[in-house]
Amino acid sequence: MKIAYVSTYYPQQCGIATYTGHLIHGLRTVSPKLEMKVVAEKGASPFRQVRFEVVPCWDRNEDYVEPIISNTMDADVVHIQHEYGIYDFDDRLPMLLERLKASKKRTIITIHCVRPSQFCDRGMVDEDFVKRIAELADVVIVHLDSQKAVLERLGILSEKTHVIAHGTLLSNADKKISRARLKLPEECRIMLMFGFVKPYKCVHVGLEVLKEVRAEVEDAYLFIAGGLSPGASKKDRTYEQYLYKLIKELGLGDNVIFPNRFFPDAEIPFIFGASDVVLFPYYVEDLSASGPFHLAIGAKKPVIASRIPKFESLKNICDELLVLPSDTSGIAKTAIRIFTDTDFRQYVLDRTERYRSATSWAEIARRHLELYRRA
């Protein structure tokens, strides 16, 4: 059996590229004889070895149907990783699925984000499009129960849609070694916010949380491990400047670590390894899983997140770690309890260990492999 993935891929700075890379690594671990091919967007690096190859051949800004069709002819199953920003809302992706169906290819599509129309500037466009591509695929994968519920409301059969959690990369980087490598203070409490700096991630809330936490935990720091994305908008850049201003206004210059740069994959285990608590005070209505959330879980770190669909999986660890969006005091008090209440912290760590094992990339790969075999 040969699987062709239609996706972005390394070294592109893209969450979907990273997701596909981890999934493939998991599959190669649990099924070494499985043949796989990434039919990648241009920008990925070509690669070939036994049972695995990467073929960069299409561009999101061009008509990508023919190049993808011609490079999936040798596959038994075609698995498309969908994200709105990659495929847009025109007829190309539906046409691709129709062509694959006509050629008798079994198609699976992972829909990473579902946007209800009431939260979209485009109105019904998002829902209509996601319904169309879900209907054309043979199998649909989503990461959250809330995503499946929307698809069922749109008329997609329940048995066609499979909820498979976002995978978790297990890491165990030593805290002392991690802090030395990243030149972070060795003896302190570090709260982490990770990823590209964007307004919806509410880094400003993290700064306000730090101000409140330091009233009781004087050695608390906030490590903002990220910077502007390659395609940062004017809004993103304005927000970045606002953060610098806020750090100064709150008098947090000595306790905020903000390198403002992209960190390569090799550094990620150390970033999470260096932290004590990871904050996700996001404010966004998209129904999608969070890769950074699973990185934090994989490093066995306590997570505090907004009570929004993106982090609904956190209830599997401890519902008390979900805080109403923008509830700065609630986030701060939860962080303080993790820092000061040994029993509570250990409860969270024990349940984090169980959840990270249940969603490891090896386990997620096994779930995918089962679907491929059925297809």
Give residue 273's identity as a one-letter amino acid code.
G
Per residue in 286-345, pLDDT (tens digit) is 889 999 999 999 999 999 999 999 999 999 999 999 999 889 999 999 999 999 999 999
Per residue in 52-83, pLDDT (tens digit) is 999 999 999 999 999 999 999 999 999 999 99
Closest CA to 243 of 259, 263, 219, 231: 259
- Chain-wide mean pLDDT for the chain? 95
Give the model's pLDDT for residue 346: 98
Q: Average of pLDDT values for 156-169?
A: 97
Q: Average of pLDDT values for 239-245?
A: 97
Q: Average of pLDDT values for 186-211?
A: 96
pLDDT at 120 over 80: no
Please name the CATH architecture into which domain 175-358 falls: 3-Layer(aba) Sandwich (3.40)
Measure the CA–CA gap between 190 and 246, rounded to whole angstroms.
19
pLDDT at 265 over 90: no
Q: Quick one: tokens of 244? A: 């610098």
Q: Average of pLDDT values for 253-272?
A: 93
| CATH 3.40.50.2000 correct for 2-167+361-374 | yes
Give residue 136's identity as a one-letter amino acid code.
L
Q: Average of pLDDT values for 336-360?
A: 98
pLDDT at 116 over 90: no
Q: Quick one: tokens of 122? A: 């485009």
pLDDT at 129 over 80: yes
Q: What percent of the chain has pLDDT over 90?
A: 91
Measure the CA–CA gap between 111 and 130, rounded to whole angstroms.
8
- What Å distances lie between residue 291 and 20, 45, 112, 332, CA to CA? 12, 22, 11, 23
pLDDT at 122 over 80: no
Residues 279 and 304: beta-carbon distance below 8 Å = yes
pLDDT band at 205 (very low <50, low <70, confident <90, very high): very high
Give the model's pLDDT for residue 229: 85
Q: Where in the chain is the domain with CATH 3.40.50.2000?
A: 2-167+361-374, 175-358
pLDDT at 227 over 90: yes
pLDDT at 107 over 80: yes
Measure the CA–CA gap between 176 and 304, rounded to whole angstroms.
23
